[in-house]
Amino acid sequence: MKKIIVVNAEKDWIFKEIKDIEIVLAKDYLLNPKWLEAKNIQVFNLCKSYAYQTKGYYVSLLAQARNQKVIPSATTIQDLKTKSVIKVLSNNVNDIIQKSLKTIKSKEFVLSIYFGSNLAQQHQKLASELYSIFRAPLIRAKFKHIENKWILQSIIPIALDDIPENHIDFVQHKAAEYFKRDRYFYQKKDTTVYDLAILQDPNEKSPPSDKKALEKFMNIAEDMDFYVDFITKNDYGRVGEYDALFIRETTSVDHHTYRFSRRADADGMIVMDDPVSIMRCANKVYLNEALAKAKIQVPKTLIVHNDKIDDIISTIGLPCVLKLPDSSFSIGVKKAETESDLKQLVLKMLDESDLIIAQEYMFSPFDWRVGVLDGKPLFVCKYFMARGHWQIYNWSAKKRDETGGFETVAVEKAPKSIVEAAVKATKIIGNGLYGVDVKEINGKPYIIEINDNPNLDSGVEDKIIGDELYRTILSSFKNRLDAQVYKKPLK
């Protein structure tokens, strides 16, 4: 990937010792057809200002319109200008802010962050964390001490000619380190077209893909001419370096996985799972309404609030299943056997959420799981209930009894009604990658869940089609990227 640094004027470039990187004037980048047509380039925008309708603003905006990677992105520039966004995003590093600034005696403090670093070692962690969130090369953070707590008030870009004289040597050194980092200049095969980031948590107890499956994704992706990089929640600021993001960590709306997805989507990247799918699949109240509107068969269901508690037994009966709207992997899903259990569980759940779901309990020894990608069935599995339990997952059991067994079935050999119901259900969510849980009762399919982040484990979902599972998903990424970059129709 070719790297260029964009500045307003030649005299602005103060890092003369940095070699092997092209310096481009903002006017030339914006107006020269050469840069309009350039592909596979990384743009570092070091213009004096990113204010609306300045050259610096348009450099980042047009870089994204040209499907070129740019730092800072137009999204970051907008975040820097929006106080509410700064407040929300800075909450993620509040503990670091308090720890870093606890010895400061004044009521205000300014932190200069040069390429992710600060002159004072005691503030280095804070500088690094803020840079990972607000990814611009030169920024200045302003804090105020209010009611015994440090509050981030603003973050503004620093122009090259606004760097204090006594900081120049430090900035020169950090700039040299920054532009020589391997991740900006990694050696890739000449044929590599796209950069793919895979978000994962090495410490997750039950990740959506096991280690072997992740290795399969990496090896097959590289054979398909992707460059693959595994990233974690600490790499939020690096998202803009890639062409696509594949989330292989359990998702939730109130979680860094959603923020990664939202950021990637806002930056014009191809992302699975996309933020709309995460939001729709995560909330069972939404799913119930959407499925009902689409006339898709589900177990008898009631949306419950404080005024509806007494309607559960008459409408649903006992036993019944109670669900928090954002529950996943059977966490936040309970079964009430008696009226006493029901009232106790409902009151506890309504303390957490204004609305909950009560659903008819349907016994089955297994649930069908249909994987759907781009509106087509990808795999079919039977997930059996955990030993002595009514769910697939039993988190209170010993490790060996935590989950039930599985049986993978060829798509063409699975019941046609199950597969068709699953595919139809995903159309209310989007055209991404989903796992649909279906119960088969008296030969009829009932949709239980639509998951935006389905399990893809070695020896399970890939048992029938093997490497083709991974290749099909990666081909979907490539088709979407080709459609975006080369204006090709989706296959």
pLDDT at residue 330, rounded to an integer: 58
For residues 168 and 113, membership in a common domain is answered with yes
Q: Dig out the tokens for 240 from the structure.
A: 């803009």
Give the CATH number, domain containing residue 397: 3.30.470.20
Q: Which residue has the tokens 């950090």?
A: 174
The 3-state DSSP class for residue 3 equals strand
The 10s digit of each residue's pLDDT in 372-412 is 999 999 999 999 977 665 565 555 555 555 666 899 999 99
Quick check: is 291 in a domain? no
* Cβ neighbours, 10 Å, residue 48: 19
Quick check: is 392 in a domain? yes
For residues 371 and 340, membership in a common domain is answered with no
The 3-state DSSP class for residue 250 equals coil
The 10s digit of each residue's pLDDT in 249-267 is 999 888 899 989 988 998 8
Q: Which of 202, 268, 204, 197 has its CA nearest to residue 235?
A: 197
Q: Dig out the tokens for 415 from the structure.
A: 């019941």
Q: Which of 80, 42, 29 has its CA nearest to residue 227?
A: 42
**Cβ atoms of residues 490 and 244 within 8 Å:** no
Domain boundary among 341, 360, 379: 360
For residues 481 and 340, membership in a common domain is answered with no
Q: Which residues are registered as beta bridge partners of 136?
A: none
Quick check: is 257 in a domain? no
pLDDT at residue 400, rounded to an integer: 52
Q: Which residue has the tokens 């309708």?
A: 53
pLDDT at residue 408, rounded to an integer: 97
C-beta pairs of 339-345 under 8 Å, 24+ apart in sequence = 339/313, 342/312, 342/313, 342/318, 343/309
**How many domains in the chain?**
3
Integer-rounded Cα Rg, in Å, for the chain is 26
For residues 304 and 427, membership in a common domain is answered with no
For residues 6 and 67, membership in a common domain is answered with yes
Which helix (H) or strand (E) is 203 found in, with range?
none
Neighbour-count burial of 283, counting CB atoms closer than 10 A to its CB (0-12 exposed, 13-18 middle, 19+ buried): buried
Quick check: is 265 in a domain? no
* Separation between Cα atoms, residue 374 and residue 115, nearest integer Å: 39
Which distant-in-sequence residues (6+ apart) come within 8 Å of 119 by Cβ?
112, 167, 170
| Residue range of the domain that includes 408 | 364-485
* Separation between Cα atoms, residue 421 and residue 444, nearest integer Å: 10
Quick check: is 466 in a domain? yes
**Cβ atoms of residues 330 and 250 within 8 Å:** no
Q: Which residue has the tokens 């994204």?
A: 64
What is the distance of C-alpha 279 from the center of its chain?
11
Quick check: is 246 in a domain? no
For residues 53 and 171, membership in a common domain is answered with yes
**Cβ atoms of residues 238 and 212 within 8 Å:** no
Q: Which residue has the tokens 């939202």?
A: 262
For residues 72 and 22, membership in a common domain is answered with yes
Quick check: is 235 in a domain? no
For residues 33 and 62, membership in a common domain is answered with yes
DSSP string, 252-269: -SSSHHHHHHHHHHHTT-
Domain boundary among 322, 341, 360: 360
Give the CATH number, domain containing residue 326: 3.30.1490.20
pLDDT at residue 390, rounded to an integer: 58
Crossing angle for the helix pair 275-282 and 256-266, to the nearest 10 degrees:
140
Cα dist. 305→42, 213, 318 in Å?
51, 41, 18
pLDDT at residue 117, rounded to an integer: 95
For residues 49 and 154, membership in a common domain is answered with yes
pTM of the model: 0.70
For residues 314 and 390, membership in a common domain is answered with no
Quick check: is 232 in a domain? no
Domain boundary among 140, 156, 183: 183
* Separation between Cα atoms, residue 91 and residue 39, nearest integer Å: 37
Task: For the chain, report the end-to-end CA distance as a whole number of angstroms.
Answer: 26
For residues 341 and 435, membership in a common domain is answered with no
According to DSSP H, which parts of 180-327 are helical?
Answer: 182-185, 211-223, 256-266, 275-282, 284-293, 311-315
List of the chain residues with pLDDT < 50: 182-190
